[in-house]
Every structure is written in structure tokens, then in C-alpha cells.
Amino acid sequence: MSRYRGPKLRITRRLGTLPGLTQKSSKKQGRPGKPNEDNNKKLTEYGLRLEEKQKLKFNYGLTEGQLFRYIKEARRREGVTGLILLQLLETRLDTICFVLGFAPTIASARQLVNHGHVTVNGKVISIPSFQCRINDVVGSKPKSSSKNLIENNLKNSRLAEYPTHLEFDKTKLEGTVKNYCERSELLLELDELLVIEYYSRR
């Protein structure tokens, strides 16, 4: 299945706030659907797990195949699978660019990386899924067009403060990965255990 490019507010009405998908909020109340449809009916256990999986998928802009690969990688590593999954997603280059304020959404950050505006340890990286490691330095390409684009996005950033696992130097337009993210500092409201349960039979 290809990446979602449809109406974003329809997704946020169904799944709740997804900071990585869009910063906008819908004026309409309730879940999308037919006017006479009962939108308040209780979800089944499968439905709950599916919605949590969809939150993760839409927020980080992943395809089904990509998300399943991250699940397999999280299971392979030692530790709490749900937390490791979130840490893997939070150390993607496009996610780090979004959290640093280089772009208003993860989709915009992906485009920023694709167009070669972002460097990791001084080298231009154009792969949004690039996995950053501890002590990696994520910055702007020295070109003036790249710097201006990122500076404008930083001015319009709604993020009040940076999470403790990232350190940002505004003068150099560089962010350093100091550690793996803390679960409490995640912008997305999610029950990752339900996502792991959703994939438990695969």
C-alpha cells in the first residue's frame, strides 16, 4: 500500500491529534462518516488495536510494509518492544528534523531531506528513513537557500521546548542526538502495546 495522500483532517477526526501529520484542526465535531451513522458505538478489541496502529502509521508517514519491518526490528532487540519501536521511529532523520522544528510536519521534513537540505555529521543525507545514532549531528546544508528555508520554519515552529534527548544550537542550526527518547516526552498520544498486539499473530 502506498503512502497516504488524502484529506488529513478526516484522519485526525477519526484518530485524534497527530502532530506529525498536520498542525491544523478540524472545525467539525465527531468522527467522519454518514450523518445518520452512530459514530459513538464502542469499538471491538481488534478495532482499538487497529486504530492505534493507524495512529503510528499516519503520524510517521509509514507504509504498512515499513511499519512491519520496524516491528520485527523492535522484537529482535533486547528490552521493551513497544518502547524500542518508538525509539526507532523517533531516531529517523525526518522525525528528528520535525522535532527540531526544521519543518512543520513529518511529511514536510521528509521533503526537506529528499531535496538535500539536511546534513548528518556534515554529509548531505537525502534518505528520510536514515537511522540516526547517539552523538550524530543533524544540521542544515551550508547553502543559503537551505538555511533560509529552515530558519523560516523555525520562526513558525509551535514547539515550546526541545525534548531532553536532543540538543539544539540555533546559531549553527545544528541538533545533536544525546540519547534515545523518553516515553513521557513523545508528542503522539498512543498505546504502543496495542500496536504490538495487533502484529502479534504475524
Half-sphere CA count of 136, side-chain side, radius 13 A: 19
| CB-count burial class (<10 Å; 0-12, 13-18, 19+) for 187 | middle
What is the reported pLDDT for 45?
A: 87
- CA quadruple 79, 82, 83, 88: dihedral positive or negative? positive
Per-residue pLDDT reduced to its tens digit, 111-168: 999 999 999 999 999 999 999 999 999 999 999 999 999 999 888 877 767 888 999 9
Three cell numbers, residue 106: 513529518
φ and ψ at residue 119, rounded to 5 degrees: -120, 150
pLDDT at 72: 93
Give Cα 50 distance to the centre of its chain.
18
Fold adopted by 92-179: 3.10.290
- Quickly tell me which residue has 528490552 as its cell: 79
Query: Which tens digits make up the pLDDT trace of 11-42?
Result: 777 777 777 677 666 566 656 655 545 555 67
The whole model's pTM is what?
A: 0.85
Fold assignment, 8-33+40-88+187-198: Ribosomal Protein S4 Delta 41; Chain A, domain 1 (1.10.1050)
- Kindly list the domain boundaries of the chain, sorted by start residue: 8-33+40-88+187-198, 92-179
User: Sign of torsion, CA 27 29 33 37?
Assistant: negative
1-10, 16-25, 119-128, 173-182: the lowest-pLDDT one: 1-10
Question: What cell numbers appear for 171 in the block?
Answer: 546559531
Name the amino acid, one letter, at 93. Answer: L
pLDDT digits (tens, 9 = 90+) for 39-88: 556 778 888 899 999 889 988 989 999 999 999 999 999 989 999 999 99
Q: Residue 189 pLDDT more than 80? A: yes
- CA distances in angstroms from 30 to 9, 16, 18, 53, listed in the order given: 12, 10, 16, 20
How far is the C-alpha of 95 from the C-alpha of 132, rounded, in Å? Answer: 10
CB 143 within 8 A of CB 127: no
pLDDT at 1: 41
Q: What backbone phi and psi angles, to 5 degrees, belong to 35? A: -55, -40
pLDDT at position 201: 72
